[in-house]
Structure 1
């Protein structure tokens, strides 16, 4: 967890709040799961535990996809390390696999030429839904980058606004 959160995530993104939250959540989950794995624990109780965790996600601010991946990685490491009866060598191998995958997949050199952004247009283009290729070319022209794809998040005809996720290739 220390390598994943502080060695990779924090060094790359400098998000102190999420790094601290993920580290604490990992520690707490490890403690709870270690206790639960040493006693008789039913499947129903496990589903109840996940239901409680789901309530936390419903009551908290949204975090982006990348942050949730690191957060889940911290939880996964806690689960992997807390299962009783698993050999230490196997736990170390699986944890090393998780860390290596996170390091490689989120390395700054991987996918460095593509990025995404959410934009709000102050006018809904007439071809926003009817001609996706024309819309893609129009977005490329407006933004000055090669738009690979886009996703319309919302159209507000009352205020004439369009919210769009744009995925583009950097020059």
Structure 2
């Protein structure tokens, strides 16, 4: 009975994490399937291993092996890596906890809450990151900052030059900047389309 309660708790936690948080914000169905599949798979294996003396060691080993396989199989963003590890952690906690202890419940709640807060659209919403090719070879850092701020119309906080091509006169840069806040002007509306004249019959 305690094991069934932990399984139900894990199902609720992974549903909130994937459908309530991730899919609502990022709309990637393929990764929802991946997160749920990994979570349920890890949960099933750890429940089977929970009664053995090497349960913890095998569980952590499984955590590492699945991480390597998944991260090498395709390129995903750092945000999705965080969701992936959160799904793994939920499955491990639920599978290794033989009863619904306050600590297990608190840890699972902490993981879901941390992902909700850390990935909230309003948290550091002005921070941006992009890789771009500038149509000039600019070796001078001060000039490069000024040129990028003019192009982006924003305050550039960090620039990493990845390549300066003097032959093709280009600069490849990794840029981190603060986007400007655009507030709509009160009473400003989109102009309506002009009415089309009726064709005479």
Comparing 111-120 and 71-80, the one that deviates more: 111-120
Measured against aligned partners, the alpha-carbon deviations of 1:123-154 in whole angstroms (never above 9, x if no partner) come to: 43222xxx3x44322211122221111233x3
Partner of 2:11: none
Which of 52, 64, 69 aligns to 1:56? It is 69
**Residues 73 and 30 of structure 1, relative CA distance in 2, 3 Å threshold:** same
TM-score (norm 1): 0.82
Q: Which has the larger radius of gyration?
A: 2
Q: Which moved more, 1:32-41 or 1:73-82?
A: 32-41
Given that 1:38 and 1:84 are in contact with CA atoms closer than 8 Å, whether structure 2 keeps it comes out as no
Secondary structure of the corresponding residue to residue 92 of structure 2: helix
* Cα shift at 1:56: 1.0
Instruction: In structure 1, list runs of 5 or more residues that go unmatched.
Output: none
- Give the C-alpha shift of residue 46 in structure 1: 5.5
Following superposition, the deviation at residue 22 of structure 1 comes to 0.9
Question: Where does structure 2 lack aligned partners over 5 or more consecutive residues?
Answer: 1-13, 181-201
- Between the two proteins, the alignment pairs up a number of residues equal to 166
Question: Does residue 40 of structure 1 match 2:49?
Answer: no
Q: 2:128 aligns with which of 101, 115, 120?
A: 115
Between the aligned partners of 1:124 and 1:86, the Cα distance in structure 2 is 63
Are the structure 2 counterparts of residues 116 and 161 from structure 1 closer, same or farther at C-alpha, using a change threshold of 3 Å? same
